[in-house]
């Protein structure tokens, strides 16, 4: 339910990344996939080093959900904030606009906060708050690992976690171009914690940043989710109070306890 709520819209990738734009029902390999396991490990190792070096991260979000069966599309735009304080991480997403199909973009406010233990979702339209426990209080997990269970932003948490959950392939560009971004294609394993959510997730890694900038995911319902991370600010300080969300007093609050069968592994 929460994946559908949080992923109910957003983003578009450029035509130059056709292989990163999966079509619903097509989970087959992309042309030019690299089979060299050493090449894959080298990309993953570099990605791990870059992600491990993050203390602060901020970027604009452009997130599109396409539903081929309904021939509809929804797009949200907003900002993502991530920070580590005292060996604990926090991630906040603010969505500010919403656009359906070709209609006019409108103001629409939603907030998500991941603090390593809890997901807090605030809908200003519904005037409601949902708090879902995602981990044990004494075992907080990285906030990027939590957000990936709700919004398919991967590549920022432990690479070992990705390898446990996905079969990973390195996709080479059709033409040899040293400046071309690297692309990983991940197929969900049968026993993965993502098996009820996604079929495949592809993401591109910016050569300069060494971090993901584009993501495309196909869900088990054959919806296509596309995400752009734009104008990233890496390790520029973010104030702690950015992660202190004030809940309006008249909003209804629902609390959902930890589902141990879906704890991050």
Please report the beta strands in 55-127, taking only residues with DSSP state E, as ranges in sequence order.
56-67, 72-85, 88-100, 106-114, 118-123
Digit-coded pLDDT (tens) for 130-151: 999 999 999 999 998 888 777 8
Digit-coded pLDDT (tens) for 150-166: 788 888 878 888 899 99
Please give the residue that has the higher pLDDT: either 160 or 55: 55
At residue 6 the predicted structure's pLDDT band, cuts being 50, 70 and 90, is: very low
> Taking 60 as the threshold, does the pLDDT of residue 4 lie above it?
no
Indicate the average pLDDT of the chain.
85
pLDDT of residue 145: 84
Please report the beta strands in the chain, taking only residues with DSSP state E, as ranges in sequence order.
33-34, 56-67, 72-85, 88-100, 106-114, 118-123, 128-133, 166-171, 182-188, 198-205, 212-219, 224-234, 252-256
CA–CA gap between residue 213 and residue 17 (Å, rounded): 12
260: helix, coil or strand?
A: helix
pLDDT of residue 31: 47
CATH number for position 10: 2.50.20.10
In this structure, are residues 176 and 182 in contact, taking their beta carbons and an 8 Å threshold? no
The answer to whether residue 110 sits within a structural domain is: yes
The answer to whether residue 139 sits within a structural domain is: yes
Q: Which residues contact 221 (CB under 8 A, 6 or more apart)?
A: none
The answer to whether residue 180 sits within a structural domain is: yes
Digit-coded pLDDT (tens) for 88-122: 999 999 999 999 999 999 999 999 999 999 999 99
pLDDT of residue 179: 73
At residue 175 the predicted structure's pLDDT band, cuts being 50, 70 and 90, is: low
pLDDT of residue 30: 52
Count of structural domains, the chain = 1
The structure tokens 């390999």 sit at 29
Burial of 179 (0-12, 13-18, 19+ CB in 10 A): exposed
The answer to whether residue 264 sits within a structural domain is: no
pLDDT of residue 56: 98
Structural domain span for residue 146: 2-257
Q: What is the CA radius of gyration of the chain?
A: 18
CA–CA gap between residue 126 and residue 137 (Å, rounded): 29
In this prediction, residues 6-25 reach a mean pLDDT of: 42
Digit-coded pLDDT (tens) for 208-228: 999 999 999 999 999 999 999
> Taking 70 as the threshold, does the pLDDT of residue 262 lie above it?
no
Digit-coded pLDDT (tens) for 223-260: 999 999 999 999 999 999 999 988 999 999 999 999 87
pLDDT of residue 19: 53
The answer to whether residue 265 sits within a structural domain is: no
In this prediction, residues 34-46 reach a mean pLDDT of: 81
The answer to whether residue 144 sits within a structural domain is: yes
The answer to whether residue 32 sits within a structural domain is: yes
The answer to whether residue 67 sits within a structural domain is: yes
């Amino acid at each position: 339910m929460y994946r559908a709520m949080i992923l109910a819209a957003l983003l578009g990738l450029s035509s130059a990344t056709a292989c990163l734009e999966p079509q619903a029902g097509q989970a087959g390999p992309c042309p030019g996939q690299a089979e060299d396991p050493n090449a894959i490990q080298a990309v993953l190792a570099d990605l791990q080093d870059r992600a491990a070096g993050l203390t602060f991260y901020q970027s604009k979000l452009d997130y599109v959900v396409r539903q081929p069966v309904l021939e509809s599309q929804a797009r949200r735009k907003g900002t993502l904030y991530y920070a580590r304080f005292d060996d604990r991480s926090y991630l906040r997403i603010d969505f500010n606009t919403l656009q359906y199909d070709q209609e006019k973009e409108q103001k629409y406010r939603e907030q998500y906060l991941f603090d390593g233990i809890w997901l807090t979702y605030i809908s200003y339209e519904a005037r409601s708050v949902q708090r879902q426990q995602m981990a044990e209080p004494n075992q907080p997990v990285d906030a990027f690992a939590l957000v990936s269970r709700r919004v398919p932003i991967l590549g920022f948490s432990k690479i070992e976690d990705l390898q446990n959950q996905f079969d990973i392939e390195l996709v080479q560009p059709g033409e040899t171009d040293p400046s071309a971004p690297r692309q990983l294609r991940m197929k969900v394993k049968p026993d993965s914690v993502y098996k009820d959510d996604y079929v495949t997730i592809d993401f591109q890694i910016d050569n300069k940043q060494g971090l993901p900038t584009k993501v495309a995911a196909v869900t088990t319902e054959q919806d296509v989710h596309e995400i752009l991370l734009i104008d990233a600010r890496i390790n520029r300080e973010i104030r702690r109070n950015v992660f202190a969300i004030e809940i309006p007093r008249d909003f209804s609050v629902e609390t959902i306890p930890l589902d141990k069968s879906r704890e991050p592994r």
